Amino acid sequence: MASKSRQEDSNSLKRFAECAVTMRNILQLDRELGDAEFAFMDNHFHVLEMAYFRWKQKQSPHLSPPIGSDNLRHKTS
C-alpha cells in the first residue's frame, strides 16, 4: 500500500511540475490579469510557499521561514 501512495505522490509532483511550466509560460506572455485572477494566483503561490517552507523547516530546522509568511497577501471574499 505504501508504494501505491508513493507512486501517487510521484504522479502528483509530476503534474505539479507540468503546471508550473505552463504557468511560467503564461506569465512570460506578460498578460494583464484582472483583480480576481491576480488575487487567486497570488494566494495560491503564497499558500504553496508557506507549505513548502514549513516542510523545509521540518527537514532542516535551522532554516527560518520567509518574512511575512504568516498572512495571506490578498484575501478573496
Are 43 and 73 within 8 A, CB to CB? yes
Say which residue, 68 or 43, is predicted with more confidence: 43
Which pLDDT tens digit goes with each residue over 4-36? 798 999 999 999 999 999 989 988 999 888 999
- For residues 43 and 72, the answer to whether their CB atoms sit within 8 Å is yes
SS3 label, residue 40: helix
Separation CA 41–CA 49 (nearest Å): 12
pTM of the full structure? 0.58
